[in-house]
Structures are given as structure tokens and as C-alpha cells.
Amino acid sequence: MRKNGVKMIKIKAKDVDVFYGKKQALFNISLDIEENQVTALIGPSGCGKSTFLRCLNRMNDVIDICNVKGEILINDFNINDKSCDVVRLREKIGMVFQKPNPFPKTLYENVSYGPTIHGMAQSKQEMDEIVETSLKKAALWEEVKDRLHEPGTGLSGGQQQRLCIARAISVRPEVILMDEPCSALDPIATAQIEELIDELKKEHTIIIVTHSMAQAARVSQNTGFFHLGQLIEHGSTDKIFKNPDNKKTQDYITGRFG
Amino acid sequence: MNLILFTFIVLLGFTSYYFGRKKAYTIQSTKKRLTALPQFYGYYLAIWCAIPAFIIFSLWAIFEPTIVKLLILSDYSNQGYLDDELNLIYEKTKALSRGQFTGEITPFIEASAEKYLSLRSIAQSSKVVIVLSAIIASVAYAYKRISSNSRTREPVEKFLNAVLFTASLAAILTTVGIVFSLIFQTIDFFKVIPLFDFVFGTHWYPAKAFVRDSSEALDPTMYSDTFGAVPIFAGTFFIAFIAMCVAIPIGLMSGIYLAEYASTKVRQYAKPLIEILAGIPTVVYGFFAALTVGPFLKELGTSMGLEVSAESALAAGGVMGIMIIPFISSLSDDVITSVPQSLRDGSYAMGATKSETIKRVIFPAALPGIVGSILLGVSRAIGETMIVVMASGLAANLTLNPLESTSTITAQIVVILIGDQAFGDPKTQAAFALGMSLFLVTLCLNIVALRVVKKYREKYE
Ligand SMILES: Nc1ncnc2c1ncn2[C@@H]1O[C@H](COP(=O)(O)OP(=O)(O)OP(=O)(O)O)[C@@H](O)[C@H]1O
Ligand SMILES: [Mg+2]
């Protein structure tokens, strides 16, 4: 959403450090994420992209040895603050993982999982509606509408990933985090998901980690380049790809390392 | 003697392995490519050593005793002895040759004993000669045959296949053998006691069958109201039910705690501690139930104005449940831990709490394994004997009051088979009938369990 041509900032990371035990994985990351835009995070393997993504919905809490320092403001509220309710936070910030991970339940139960635990539907009818719209938004409805009560694990890889996207958007999150969502998929399924991302950004803010430069260039408006736990450069995708300030960025994008 | 021979053959096996490999290396050094790794040539020769040895040993074991017996008894033929008497003579001969004969020694038997000894020593030395020459011949033949392009890998693999197959066959055949031995005795039992009386009779009182003098003829009417199995089946399931009421909730909850909540440190100590419970011999549980829990329950009951028998189903079942806890907790901990982390992450990322994640995602995903562990616990409970014998008494009361004493199938088998028993007596056969029914029950249980698990798998994999 733009107000008078000024882009709204949805997420503001300030001086974020992350430690796994004694080992520091992220150094002093400060990054602004614009609302209703797709932001791509790129960088060589092990540079901390996933770690940063997991900071944004506090999924690093799940890892015992992981320790996050610094401020992350979402809608101007610091999610690292003690008063932050993780359940509410994760309701607002959805996540799609690298490997499709549908629950061993039916398609319907997979999509209705979030709405159920957040008590978003008052009746069966409402739930049916949520499931249908989510699946439609995830471009999966036509393929599965006759088999909603079959296990989600019986779908193809690409369908499973779209099911996971449907699951993530079922609670109408404001932000969707995607960690290499296409790395297990073939080009056709990848194209479908990219199209979907373009569609989803109308209602959601999207942050996507990807190893494919082409994908970053295709789907994102902003790009951040990570290297060895540091955010080397960030800005509009156009600028990063055509005219980066930093030599490392230039080298990575042109495939000279990483 | 046999032991020395056996050791020697094993040594021969190693030697042939060594020579086979050496020949392979020699071939290799002439720059020829082998069809298999040198070890296979070694194994190949070792197999050629083992097979003839095995065949000759088994033939010997089967035929030697019969042949020796025939030769000894040929001296007594045409003298009008009955078969039984001939057998007796042979037994006496053997005993005398071992120096264990205590009766009156007749010259005939003494002569036979000497003959027996000489026959045995001839047999023994010819066995040594035959085995060794057969081995040497076969190994030499195989050694000559192996060359750069001979096939050694396939025969070795086939041999391994055959050995493994034999092992599993042995296990299966033993089971079949056990079932058959049960079946025949069971059929004999049901010739005397009508099946209907056994399955639907409500009085189990095998002690009544003691009264019979074995010289009297069998009188079926005498056994009516003696072998009605309903009380002990009911008792078995009842005690198992009490045990599972204790074991399932505690076991499952501690399994979930260990897998999901406990820190690595707690888990590191708690898990082995719980598993210690599984290592306690059941006799110990038995006297714990009989001497500690039973009297405690009795006192507790008295103070509340309830009549509690010192030997109660509750004491036996409760302690049995404690015994089963580690099976369930340890196994369910394992299956829960093996649920992929990606499912947990998926659930947490949706904003689910830990308990919601466990209830809605992890537990269903781990269910087949959990059902498996529970059924394992149930069959332990049904098969458990010692605790029941010690803590729940031996009188087969038909009751559903956990404060009274009841008895189970296994405990009754113990009751029946303790002390003197005569084969062919309905009382002894009753034990077989019980064993058979126990077998059928656990079989059905396993089949049901496999079905459940399979159906669930089909649905979600
Ligand atoms: N659970 C963990 N425990 C310890 N160290 C971790 C853990 N997860 C990540 N790390 C370390 O943190 C650093 C950043 O890892 P991260 O997974 O964020 O990289 P990434 O950029 O996502 O890499 P990739 O592109 O391969 O997914 C790495 O050095 C990694 O070894
Ligand atoms: Mg990653």
C-alpha cells in the first residue's frame, strides 16, 4: 500500500544478532521490509538467510541453543519483547518451508488446522468457506475439490507445496515467509508458485529466500544479499541486479562465487 | 573327540579360505582381471570345506545309532525275545558300557557291551577318516577349478542366502512344532471334556480331577463342572484390563514427556531409570504385589469399611501395569521422537502451542507405533504369570470385583503342571488346551493390531 507515494514499512529489523550456542550466525542485521511487496533474500549457502527468516516469526525459539538479540518491529511492535504473544504473532506471520510438510491428515484438515486452533470459524459452513477460499487462492482448488478428505501426503510435490501455502494463508496472515519454497519442485510447479506469489502480494507482505537469481529477479521488488551472516546490500531488485553498490553482490549475482 | 574334530575342521575352513584368497592374488599378479574380489575365492573354498563336513556329520548322527543297535541286537535274533525285551537289553548294554549299570551282569550283556564299545570306536575313527578325506577331496577339487574367470561370487551369495533361509525356516518350524504339540493334546482333552463345557462352563476346579485313582476307568460325567474356562478367561482379561488401565496413561504420558518436554539432561537420566523397571524380574514384582501392595490395599480397604481380599485382582493388575509402563513409555518415546521435525515446525509456524501440536499432529502421526507398543503391552499382560500366581491367588472365581481374588490362564497352567502329573490325564491335557487358547487369543490380538496399523498407514502414507 502506498500513501502519497511513500512506501509503508511492515517489518523493521534493528541490529539483530543471532547466536547458535557460542557461534554467531547473524551480525548486526538491519533491514526494512515494505508492505505488500515481495522481498527476496539471496546469498550463498549457510550465510544465515533461513536464520533471519526464522527470527521474524520467532521460530528460532524452537531451537534450544538459539539466541536472538536486537529489535524486530512488526507494525511498530517489538516481537522480541517479553510481552509478545508468540501464538498471536505466528497467526499473523505465516511460513512455508523448503520441503513441503503437509500434516498426515486429510487435505481439509490440513487447511482447517490454523483456523481451528485460532477459533476463526463459528460453524462448519464458515470453515468450509475458509478452506475453499484458501485452496482457491493457492490455485489448488480445481485439482483437489473432489478429494478433500483424502490424505494430504498423497499429493504430488508441487501440489503439496501449494497445500502448504493454502494452509499458511488460511489464517489470513499479514506476512508470509517462504524458505526456498520451490527448491523441491519442477519448472512447471515453480512457475505456478511464482504466479501465485505475484497474486498473493496484493494482500500479504511476502519474504522469500531463494537460490535462484532468476526467481528473485522475476518475483521480487526488493532484494537483500546476505554473506557470512552479514547483510551486504539491500534495495530494490532492479538496482541490486543491474547496478549493485558492492562488489561481492555483483560477483554473486553474476555467478562468480557461491 | 568330536570337539577336537570340529575344531580341526574349523581350522581347515580357515586354511582353505586363506588358500583360496592366495590363489586369487596369484592370479591377480599375472595381470588378469578377476571376476570377484579375492575374498570371494576364499569364502568359496571355505564353503566347499563346510558342506561335505556338514553332510557327513548329519548322516552320521542320523544313522550311527540305528546301525549300532541293529548290529548288537543281531546276536539276539531268533531267540524268541520280544521287541520290548530287546530294547531293554540294548539299554542295559549301553549302561554297562558307560559303567553305569547296577543290576546283575550276565555274560551275554557283558559281551554285548564290549562289542558296543568296539563298534563305537570303529564308527568314530571311520567318521574322522571319512570326514577329513571328503573335505580334502572337495577343497582340492574346488581349488583346482578356480581360475581367473570362474564364478565364485554367485555361489557364495547363494550359500549365504541358503544359510539365512535355513535360519528363518528353523524359527518358523519351531513355532509350527509347538502348535502341533499343543493341538494333539488339546484334541485328546476335548475327547473327554466337551468343547461346549470348556468354553461356556463357569466352574474351574481342576483339583477335583486329583481325586481320581488312575486305575479307575475314565468317567466323563465326573469331570462335568471341573473344566469350565469362563472364570479364568474372564480373570485373564480382567487383570490385563486393570494392568492396561495403569500402564497406558502413565506410560503414554511419560513417553510424551520424555519425547517432547524433557530437556536433554532430564531425558538422559530419566529414560534409563524408567527402563530399569523393565529389567526387574517378574518374581520380584510378584512378591512386591503379594507382600506390599496386597496387604496395603487390604488395610486401606478395611479402614474405609470395604472388604478387600489379601490376594486381589487389583493388586496383581496394578503391579502388572507398573511392570508394563516402561514398554509403553520407552516405545512411544521412540516413535514420537521419530516423527519428523518438519511436521512440528509446520504446526508451530501456524501458531499452535506445544500441547496442540502434540495432540493434533504428533500423536496422530505416531499412532501406529503407539498402538503397536500398547498391543505389545497387552500381550505381556495376558502372558504374565508370576505376579498373578503370587498376588492374585489360584482360586478361579468368576467375579468382576477387583477387590476379590481371581485367577488367569497362565496361573492355572502353573497350578495344573506343578507336582505330579501323568500324561494322558485330562488334568494335564487341560494345560495344553489352555495353552492353545492363550495362543489363539494372542494370535487374534496380533492380527487385529497389524490390521489396524496397516489401515492407518494406507490412509496417511
Ligand atoms: N539448528 C542449528 N544449530 C546450530 N547451528 C545452526 C543451526 N541452524 C543453522 N545453523 C548455522 O547458522 C548458519 C546459518 O544457517 P542458515 O540455515 O540460516 O543458512 P542459509 O543461508 O539458510 O543456508 P541455505 O541456503 O543452505 O539454506 C550456518 O552456519 C549454520 O551452520
Ligand atoms: Mg536455509
Tens of pLDDT, residue by residue over A131-145, are 999 999 888 999 999
Going from N- to C-terminal start, the domains of chain A cover: 2-99+173-253
pLDDT in tens, B407-461: 888 888 888 887 666 666 777 888 888 999 998 888 888 888 778 777 766 655 5
Query: Is residue A19 in contact with ligand 1, taking CB distance under 6 Å?
Result: no
pLDDT in tens, A81-131: 989 999 999 999 999 999 999 998 899 999 999 999 999 989 999 999 999
Give me the mean pLDDT over the A194-205 stretch: 92
pLDDT in tens, A43-75: 999 999 999 999 999 999 888 899 999 999 999
How does DSSP classify residue A171? Answer: T
Task: Please tell me the residue having the least CA distance from ligand 1 atom 25.
Answer: A45
Confidence of residue A41 (pLDDT cuts 50, 70, 90): very high
Query: Listing from the earlier edge strand, what are the strands of the sheet with A23-34?
Result: A23-34, A9-20, A66-74, A77-78
Instruction: State whether CATH 3.40.720.10 applies to domain A2-99+173-253.
Output: no
Quote the minimal CA–CA distance from A107 to chain B in Å. Answer: 11
Q: For residue B10, what is its C-alpha cell?
A: 574349523
* Range of lowest pLDDT (A211-215, B103-107, B248-252, B341-345): B103-107
Chain Cα centroid distance, residue A209: 7
Closest CA to B380 of B313, B434, B438: B438
Query: Is residue A50 in contact with ligand 1, taking CB distance under 6 Å?
Result: yes
Element spanning A223, H or E: strand A222-227
Ordered domains of chain B (ranges, CATH): 2-151 (no CATH), 230-460 (1.10.3720.10)
Who has greater pLDDT, A25 or A2? A25
pLDDT higher than 70, residue A3: no
Which residues on adjacent β-strands are paired with residue A208? A40, A178
pLDDT of residue B429: 83
* Cα A225 to middle of ligand 1, angstroms: 15
* Residue of B342, B344, B364 with shortest CB distance to A105: B364
pLDDT in tens, B133-172: 999 999 999 888 888 777 888 889 999 999 999 999 999 9
Quickly count: other Cβ atoms within 10 Å of residue A170's Cβ. Answer: 28
pLDDT higher than 80, residue B302: yes
* Cα A52 to middle of ligand 1, angstroms: 10
Closest CA to B277 of B330, B326, B316, B240: B326
Quick one: angle between helices B363-383 and B426-460, nearest 10?
Answer: 180
- Structural contact between residues B122 and B64, judged by C-beta atoms closer than 8 angstroms: no
List, as one string, the DSSP characters of B376-390.
HHHHHHHH--HHHHH
Quote the minimal CA–CA distance from A47 to chain B in Å. Answer: 21
What is the value of pTM for the model shown?
0.76
Task: Determine contact: A63 vs chain B, CB below 8 A.
Answer: no
Confidence of residue B3 (pLDDT cuts 50, 70, 90): confident
Report the percentage of chain A scoring pLDDT > 70: 97
pLDDT of residue A2: 47
- Structural contact between residues A70 and A14, judged by C-beta atoms closer than 8 angstroms: yes
Q: What stretches of A62-133 adopt beta strand conformation (E)?
A: 66-74, 77-78, 93-96
* Cα A30 to middle of ligand 2, angstroms: 19
Quote the minimal CA–CA distance from B453 to chain A in Å. Answer: 14
What radius of gyration, in Å, describes the C-alpha atoms of chain B? Answer: 32
Which backbone phi and psi does A23 adopt, to 5 degrees? -85, 125
pLDDT of residue A1: 46
ipTM of this complex > 0.85?
yes
